[in-house]
Structure 1
Amino acid sequence: MSLDELLSKLWAKGDGTSIREHTDRLIDNLKMIKETFGDLIEGTLKEQAGHFWKCLELACEYHDYGKIHRYFQKKVGNPDFKNFRAGFGEVRHNLLSPAFLPEELSEPWKTLVALAIVHHHDYEPSDENVEKVEKVLKEEFKKSLSFMHRKVLKNREEEIIEKLESGEYTNIKTFYTLLKGFLLRIDHASSSKFAPHVESGRLKENEKKVESYLRNNKNANLNELQNFVLSNRKDNLLIVASTGAGKTEAGFIFLEHKGFFTIPIRTSANAIYQRAKQVFDEESVGLLHSTAHLYLLGNAEEDRNFSDDAVVKDMFLTKNFGKPLIVSTPDQLFPFILRPKGFEKYYSLFSYSRVALDEVQLFEPHTLGFIVKAIEKLSELDGRLMVMTATLPSYLEKDLEKLGFKMGTFLTTQERHNIKVLKSSILSQEGFNLIRKLSQRGKVLVVVNTVGRAIELKKALALGHLLHARFIYKDRKEKEKEVEEFFRDSNCGVWITTQIAEVSLDLDADFLITELSTIDSLFQRMGRVNRLGRKEISQPNVFVFTEDCSGISRVYRKSIHEFTKEVLKEGPLSEEEKQTFIKKVYEEVAKRDKEYMKNYEDAKRYIDSLWTVKETFNKEKAQHMFRDILTYTVIPERFRDQVERLIKEYKQEKDYLKRLQIFSSITEYMFSVPAYVKVPLKKVEGLKDVFWIEGEYSAELGFEFKENGNANIL
């Protein structure tokens, strides 16, 4: 039987899809990506573009030829190979496939294609693997192992690329990273049962669609910020703008062709996703974060035809980055900078995509260090990025300016806030009296630094409503609706919240009462008061309690908290003064808190070592560096009976959509606790990385740790 006949007859997948059928899907997806975004990709590759498309076509064509191996056919269930036996065991198909590449293909392209094929699945070089491949090629295919094929199997991926790069060839590292990355993206998309397309289109006429949205929904035209972005979107941009300045619409203008709008808070991502669908259309926009499936399924009946599996297709297309515009949290994109397995998939994506990164001030210094290095790598790809923030540490501004970012500052001239500083605890009688008094005069937002303090305050006051991060998902979802309705429609009352109110909720309070946090966090909280600047501020509308503040050292850095207390002043405060105060605080941080800046610089050095291949990705080390943002997903013990019934249904159900619906019901009982909280956890059987947690839970107060001291802080 000829090779062509074998490819048409033998299986690539357990569902009976032939190798030829699967390969043809890859070739179709390659054509799709070239037709849709080829001009942008070629702009990155420049004079190597012609070689690139030929190499990628060969990689797509030959990547699975090794699946004609009889052992593979038995493994995927091909009935023709049911009784096949082999003494030496299976040789993985990706190791065999390079043997079928055309012999006339010249160097270095042949080596690069073979290397991408071998490494489109995990592979660690070993002499044992070389011997196995040699034996299978000889006994099953009557082929000998070529010198090039042996070299690719014996040597580490990085070593081969480094050697080629140091020889007569240039830009080999970028060329290969993109080659492998596109092969991974195309292969993963082509293997998807629900969304087998690598791309679904290209954004067009962004500015016209934003203009239409503003006219129809806000009776407005493009403002100064949005026009600045429109005129300068060929550059990388750094935007500092007041709350309510129209950053989201500016981001949509910037993300022409294909884009990612990233924001750290999932609730904010959900809101921006809804706005993006209004500006563009539902088919053009995807949502990507760890609980996106819950949000999409919860809104499915309103948003789309649920019965035709459109939600599942939409989710798979988004997960494979196939939508023209994807709203996401940064954790879905930026870990590529740590060079984990398959990082090339993300790297290739950025060769023709744009990124708008909002609310960067929310990150710790080492996380900012990682993000700055990610931005640097994307700039090397000729990618375009726009960083947006209301508050900007001066050290970050300096690093972005070094990378050639063009800065634009857009601050409202209207004073919106009048501060009163109270040198006591928010738990004092003075604090209680102030909250009660103001809640009779208007809508009061109370923000404290920890969940424990929020629950304590709610119990002591015995009034108002409570929102924090330790409500299970279904209760938190309802509370987020209630708090937004309250601040939109009510006249008087109080909500007690934690820092989740700073950016994730669209609120406009009459009064803010808060514990002192850090300067950037405090100004974010103030952004939830008098958002449009239309309210009278002759009297204070922001009340800051500076003593006995919760969460200092654990949630907020002690030095920044102290420097914030030093610069904070009473009275009306302009947006320009806020930026001055932020600069003052971070200048003091740079001078007096050496550890803070060391964390930032250490993170950047670590990334440099990864990308010069002096160090390989180490999951434990990366987790340690990210320890402040690590969380455990937990379910309160009181819901064990309901959840275990659902898990049983989930495991028995065969239909994917029904399984997803059941899993979403399970997720409704989850919330997250920070990894720095030391609590006894028991694994939930049947779910990956989910734990039972003991404690009290109520829909009014959320989760409370047990009184026996099991919430000690590490």
Structure 2
Amino acid sequence: MIKKEDFLAKSNKYNNSYNTESIEKHTKNLIRLFENFQTLYKKYFTEKELELIKISLKIHDLGKMNSRFQKKIYESIDKNFEFDEYNNELEKLYKELNIGEVPHGILSCAFLNINELEEKFSENEIKALSSAIYNHHTRKALNNNGFEISASDIKKIIEKDISFYKQYYDDKLKCKYLGVSMNVIKENYNPSYDIWKNYIIIKGMLNKIDYAASAYDDYIEIESDDASKKVLSRFELNECQKYMLENKDKNIIVIASTGIGKTEGALLWAEKSKTFYTLPLKVSINAIYERIKNNYYDKEKITFLHSDSINDMLDNDLSIEDVLDKYNKSKKLSFPFTVCTIDQLFYFVFKSLGTEIFPATLKYSKLIIDEIQSYTPEITAFIIYGLKVINDIGGKFCIMTATFPPIVKKLLEENNINFEMPSKAFIKKDKKGESIKRHFIKLIDENVFNYDNIVKSAENKKVLVICNTVKHSQEVYNILKEYNIKNINLLHSRFIMKERKEKEEQIKNFAPNDINKREETFGIWVSTQIVEASLDIDFDELHTDMSSADSMLQRMGRVYRDRVYNQNVPNIFIYDTKDGYGSVYDEEIYNRSIYYIKSYDNKIFTEEDKQDFINKVYDYDELEKSTYLSKIKKALKDITNLTPASIDKRECEELFRKIDNVTVMPLSIYNDLINKENNIIDEYTKLLNIDKLNKENYEKLLKKKNELLRFTVPIKTYKKIKNYSGIEINLNKNKTNKIFIVELEYNEELGLLDKKDNSILMD
């Protein structure tokens, strides 16, 4: 009879030898990690929650004791399994039932002692526990014909193997087979909200700890730094910052002027908690990450996470080992402070199997949401539902913004989400106690810019021109070029990544927010919405297409950002061009924005005016029957009623952002690259096609991929990719991610150009 410790959980082949780990050892490692975790975050869980998590850790892999799994794993390490006679009988049953393999998570449920559980826990809590064990890997129980294995057939398998298990477990092994009934979270079962809440906590923590143990990590979480101490030592707190510090144990919404110190206030609110700081754009994330890392937080304990984070980490002079280590720990949510896009955390709103780790982590974290007004109606709905879940399981959130649509406040209240919010916005004031004047606006009821005025202003000012679409920005740039201006530049999202990053640095150097770094250089930058919240810049004058109210206020924030404007002439010129009307911006919101801003025309637009403006445009009662609000409510209803496990995890990113992006490379750049002596495309492709990469080649592959992506443009597409040359570069071995080579004109001045009749581009 083999010993209990001989039952294996896994094996790995390394340098022609085998590393194995027993189920018993693996389980003990999980318990050790969980105990270490509790020294940091026990207070965020109830005693029942902690006990349920611990039971799941003890039970989740016991199903691997089944003779079939053990025979397979022993054969993989070239050893004989000692129960061939018994295994043969089981094989007959598998064949009779037409079953290939039952996932071990399902079999593990047989080890739940339901009699004991019923003495301590409610029926809903037991269902949540069994569901967490059942689904701790997202493998479906399918027969050889691809249909779901019935509960009765799984029960037969367990009953056959029970006699095998009982040799190693005492008579307490009594199971009602709850774990293989239909009452677990799976595609055809829609549990109550209370069951799902318990389930995501248990399964999320089980997965988080199991991943760490499987990777032989020494910890689940890195102990937090306390950024609030550095903030307190450097600043005399203003009203906004005092409010955030005083309400550090509550969910809060803070509306405050640009330049008032909301970021520092957020750090005071977060204090020493595990923290996630979310922003809508990657450029904003990198900037805030650098700011916090360089001024307030231990650089070894802070990270950033977005779709290109591994490439940006490679740019930070880290060794490849450090990059991979940091990226993997970032993906596991192990860092105490993470700056990221909202989608990196909120995929769980689709209730997909494998996303439970996110809400479970947010339960004991603080979440900062910056610039909430920047999201589409659908994403706003997803955020509201996510905040409801976070609120209901005990997490904390802070929404901070210069412009807060009142409809969001109303929807939070309707969904019973607790929060504190001051009756008035925090306005930046001068020494006399009056709000700082920064913007004097002028509305121009014309569909074209006044180019003569723009050029004249550029003689002694830093002038920013913002267009609603890339195409319009290219047209405006070409017209202004005809004036023979020496200092004129263009920035939008359709430059190759290498040149876009260079331009982002150039615009920050041209119009820095830091007054000590400003030089007496004048000229024009033409851009799009990408400068609204992503770059820390400060221009003297703005000429812009009319947009939605929230977007317009963000644009104004790029002018006289932290300076007083004391002249009696406009420095903000708004043109009703209708560019992007109905495509980039919702028609109703656009119309309401242009209607309400007229009352502020040709005068100083105060910080109080801005709050009144946004409140009028997004008034809940007036928008109640609008398509804009109906989109939010419909998305919120759909996500609330969504059945858990009905959507695959891989679909979440596309569903969350409605992403229809492709990565393209202009044919002219492709030809330049392949004709060079050191052909980066061939070098990369050869590395990608190596069957088993050693460490050295893997490092080379990552660097080459990063280098290659510098010559690409991420774009939105129509359903079919047109102008496609037929040439592709695979970005992974399974060919699911590619660079498409397109026959579109590209130049360093204008970027990727649109073609009217055969376009792949959307604004």
| TM-score normalised to structure 1 length | 0.87
Q: Which of residues 599, 605, 610 in structure 1 aligns to 2:637?
A: 605
User: Which residue identity does 2:242 align to in structure 1?
Assistant: N
Mapped contact 1:258–1:354 kept (Cα < 8 A): yes
Mapped contact 1:369–1:601 kept (Cα < 8 A): yes
Matched, 1:659 2:701: yes
Question: 1 CA distance for matches of 2:667 and 2:176?
Answer: 55
Matched, 1:445 2:459: no
Question: Can you list the C-alpha shifts for 1:237-285, whole angstroms capped at 9, x where unaligned?
Answer: 0111111111111112222321111011111111111122130111221
Pairs within 5 Å for 1:493-642: 493-547=523-577, 549-568=578-597, 569-587=601-619, 590-591=622-623, 594-610=626-642, 616-617=646-647, 630-640=660-670, 641=674, 642=680
Mapped contact 1:338–1:607 kept (Cα < 8 A): yes
User: Which residue identity does 1:710 align to in structure 2?
Assistant: S
Matched, 1:699 2:748: yes
Matched, 1:270 2:286: yes
Taking a change above 3 Å as real, the CA distance of residues 59 and 180 of structure 1, as seen in their structure-2 partners, is: farther
Q: Which of residues 208, 219, 230 in structure 2 aligns to 1:209?
A: 230
Mapped contact 1:635–1:690 kept (Cα < 8 A): no
Question: 2 CA distance for matches of 1:623 and 1:5?
Answer: 41
Pairs within 5 Å for 1:678-689: 679-680=721-722, 684-687=729-732, 688-689=736-737
Match of 1:710? 759
Matched, 1:421 2:443: yes
578-587 vs 11-20, which moves further: 11-20
User: Which structure carries more helix by proportion?
Assistant: 1
Question: 1 CA distance for matches of 2:349 and 2:262?
Answer: 26
Q: 2:304 is paired with a residue of what secondary structure? A: strand
Mapped contact 2:279–2:285 kept (Cα < 8 A): yes
Match of 2:677? none
256-265 vs 19-28, which moves further: 19-28
Match of 2:454? 435
Q: 1:80 is paired with a residue of what secondary structure? A: coil
Match of 1:191? 214
Pairs within 5 Å for 1:129-528: 131=153, 134-135=156-157, 138=160, 142-143=164-165, 148=175, 150-158=177-185, 173-192=196-215, 197-204=219-226, 206-212=227-233, 215=234, 220-256=235-271, 257-277=273-293, 278-301=295-318, 306=319, 309-401=321-413, 403-408=417-422, 409-412=425-428, 413-426=435-448, 431-462=450-481, 463=485, 464-488=488-512, 489-490=518-519, 491-528=521-558
User: Which residue identity does 2:455 align to in structure 1?
Assistant: R
User: Which residue identity does 1:434 align to in structure 2?
Assistant: N
How far apart are 1:567 and its partner, in Å? 1.9
How far apart are 1:398 and its partner, in Å? 2.0
Q: 1:705 is paired with a residue of what secondary structure? A: coil
Question: 2 CA distance for matches of 1:659 and 1:28?
Answer: 36
Mapped contact 2:663–2:713 kept (Cα < 8 A): yes
Mapped contact 2:681–2:708 kept (Cα < 8 A): yes
Mapped contact 1:67–1:93 kept (Cα < 8 A): no
Question: Can you list the C-alpha shifts for 1:338-365, whole angstroms capped at 9, x where unaligned?
Answer: 1111232112112211101010001111
Question: 2 CA distance for matches of 1:434 and 1:93?
Answer: 72
Taking a change above 3 Å as real, the CA distance of residues 81 and 328 of structure 1, as seen in their structure-2 partners, is: farther
Question: 2 CA distance for matches of 1:99 and 1:556?
Answer: 55
Mapped contact 1:679–1:711 kept (Cα < 8 A): yes
Taking a change above 3 Å as real, the CA distance of residues 438 and 294 of structure 1, as seen in their structure-2 partners, is: same
Q: 2:494 is paired with a residue of what secondary structure? A: coil
Question: 2 CA distance for matches of 1:571 and 1:293?
Answer: 47
Matched, 1:643 2:655: no
Question: 1 CA distance for matches of 2:253 and 2:418?
Answer: 10
Question: 2 CA distance for matches of 1:287 and 1:621?
Answer: 23
Question: 2 CA distance for matches of 1:581 and 1:123?
Answer: 52
Question: 2 CA distance for matches of 1:433 and 1:571?
Answer: 22
Q: 2:544 is paired with a residue of what secondary structure? A: strand
Match of 1:95? 106
Taking a change above 3 Å as real, the CA distance of residues 502 and 623 of structure 1, as seen in their structure-2 partners, is: same
405-414 vs 515-524, which moves further: 405-414
How far apart are 1:443 and its partner, in Å? 0.8
Match of 1:117? 133
Q: 2:618 is paired with a residue of what secondary structure? A: helix
Q: 2:280 is paired with a residue of what secondary structure? A: coil
386-395 vs 530-539, which moves further: 530-539
Question: 2 CA distance for matches of 1:393 and 1:241?
Answer: 13
User: Which residue identity does 1:690 align to in structure 2?
Assistant: K
Question: 1 CA distance for matches of 2:49 and 2:107?
Answer: 28
Taking a change above 3 Å as real, the CA distance of residues 619 and 704 of structure 1, as seen in their structure-2 partners, is: farther
Matched, 1:674 2:729: no
Taking a change above 3 Å as real, the CA distance of residues 373 and 173 of structure 1, as seen in their structure-2 partners, is: closer
Question: 1 CA distance for matches of 2:136 and 2:71?
Answer: 19
How many pairs does the alignment contain?
A: 685
Matched, 1:78 2:110: no
Matched, 1:55 2:55: yes
User: Which residue identity does 1:477 align to in structure 2?
Assistant: K
Mapped contact 2:443–2:575 kept (Cα < 8 A): yes
Taking a change above 3 Å as real, the CA distance of residues 299 and 123 of structure 1, as seen in their structure-2 partners, is: closer
Taking a change above 3 Å as real, the CA distance of residues 188 and 707 of structure 1, as seen in their structure-2 partners, is: same
Question: 2 CA distance for matches of 1:160 and 1:361?
Answer: 34
Mapped contact 2:65–2:165 kept (Cα < 8 A): no
User: Which residue identity does 2:420 align to in structure 1?
Assistant: K
Mapped contact 2:59–2:108 kept (Cα < 8 A): no
Mapped contact 2:44–2:363 kept (Cα < 8 A): yes
Question: 1 CA distance for matches of 2:411 and 2:373?
Answer: 14
Question: 2 CA distance for matches of 1:617 and 1:164?
Answer: 15
How far apart are 1:154 and its partner, in Å? 3.7
Taking a change above 3 Å as real, the CA distance of residues 6 and 150 of structure 1, as seen in their structure-2 partners, is: same
Match of 1:26? 30
Q: 2:663 is paired with a residue of what secondary structure? A: strand
Question: Can you list the C-alpha shifts for 1:149-183, whole angstroms capped at 9, x where unaligned?
Answer: 643224251389999989xxxx6553333111100
247-256 vs 290-299, which moves further: 247-256
Question: Can you list the C-alpha shifts for 1:297-326, whole angstroms capped at 9, x where unaligned?
Answer: 10125xxxx27x222211111110001111
Question: 1 CA distance for matches of 2:704 and 2:526?
Answer: 33
Question: 2 CA distance for matches of 1:162 and 1:127?
Answer: 15
Question: 2 CA distance for matches of 1:461 and 1:329?
Answer: 35
Question: 2 CA distance for matches of 1:588 and 1:135?
Answer: 57
How far apart are 1:663 and its partner, in Å? 2.6
500-509 vs 281-290, which moves further: 281-290
User: Which residue identity does 1:525 align to in structure 2?
Assistant: R
Q: 1:635 is paired with a residue of what secondary structure? A: strand
Taking a change above 3 Å as real, the CA distance of residues 457 and 411 of structure 1, as seen in their structure-2 partners, is: same
Match of 2:10? 11
Taking a change above 3 Å as real, the CA distance of residues 39 and 139 of structure 1, as seen in their structure-2 partners, is: closer
Taking a change above 3 Å as real, the CA distance of residues 362 and 139 of structure 1, as seen in their structure-2 partners, is: closer
